Amino acid sequence: MLAAHTPEVAMKSFAHRYGPWAVVTGASSGIGEQFARQLAARGLHLIVVARRRARLDALADELRRDHGVEAVSVVADLSAAEAVDSVVGATTGRDVGLLVNGAGFALTGDLLHHPLDAHFKLLDVNTRAPLMLAHRLGPGLLSRGCGGVINVASLAGFLPMPGWANYAASKAYLLSLSEALAYEWRARGVDVLALCPGATATEFANVAGIEHAGMAVEPVVAEALAALGRRDVVVTGGRNRLVAALTRLLPRRRRTAVGAKVVASMRPAA
Ligand SMILES: NC(=O)c1ccc[n+]([C@@H]2O[C@H](COP(=O)([O-])OP(=O)(O)OC[C@H]3O[C@@H](n4cnc5c(N)ncnc54)[C@H](OP(=O)(O)O)[C@@H]3O)[C@@H](O)[C@H]2O)c1
């Protein structure tokens, strides 16, 4: 009886439900890379996606060596719609049970500080690619009758954030999409989870041109994997959960002012 609750049994049932293959975008760094590691440790084979080939190939080698799983790199710039074709192409003949949409980035500054093209690219990576991948891989997941999608949204999805206007809006979109999809697909056996981290120690801050002391990436991903199939949304870290709960209580304009302060506090002094 006790054996049913051992870590080995839990890992086998995870692999049975969400394996044998997982697709992870944004796997060359940070949260996506950590998802690839923790999923390989659970025995899943990985298709890892990002732009930086050397990083992906090194990760794939590591996963094969350390966990004995299969791993395939797909170099794709998800700001281009065709890139999704190469990701979907890599799944041919592979039974994919889990999609992790981890790729994403932020543009910091007033809206007009960045050209419109840069804002479109942000939307393409943070919103269009997860939508397209869920739409293209969804039929396979549903026909299996079990599986999952994890969309890496953000605490930024809970409130408008002046200084991060487009980024926060993209995460609000992903959060809403995930919650609705969780509802649509739950009865058909597919679990959808919006992961909403607060500041996390990855390359994100560097890319966004901000400074923050983030939570370690390992517990962020561990919390997400523990929540998959149990929750539709997970905010990682006790402090972040408190922030998310408090922001919900504020009137909308006050919430926006809080969002502005949060971004200002992360911008390096000029
Ligand atoms: N770290 C935080 O504080 C934090 C907080 C809340 C939410 N998030 C979210 O977490 C997700 C992962 O970010 P992270 O913290 O792990 O940051 P990160 O270390 O900078 O990783 C971002 C990943 O996205 C990939 N990526 C970016 N643009 C891409 C593109 N055009 N095509 C394909 N891949 C692309 C990057 O790979 P390449 O550069 O190799 O393409 C990298 O693998 C993002 O969606 C972010 O919004 C992060």
pLDDT value of position 4: 56
Which class does domain 2-266 fall in? alpha beta
Domains of the chain, by residue range, sit at: 2-266
Q: Tell me: the pLDDT tens digits for 94-125?
A: 999 999 999 999 999 999 999 999 999 999 99
- This prediction has a pTM of 0.97
Q: Tell me: the pLDDT tens digits for 234-269?
A: 999 999 999 999 999 999 999 999 999 999 999 887
**CA dihedral of residues 234, 235, 241, 245 (deg, nearest 10):** -70
pLDDT value of position 237: 96
Burial of 14 (0-12, 13-18, 19+ CB in 10 A): buried
Q: Please tell me what DSSP assigns to residue 111.
A: G
Please tell me the distance between residue 16's alpha carbon and the centre of ligand 1 in angstroms.
Answer: 28
Whether 204 lines ligand 1, by a CB cut-off of 6 Å, is yes
Whether 51 lines ligand 1, by a CB cut-off of 6 Å, is yes
- Tokens representing 229 are 């199939």
Whether 220 lines ligand 1, by a CB cut-off of 6 Å, is no
- What count of residues does the chain have? 270
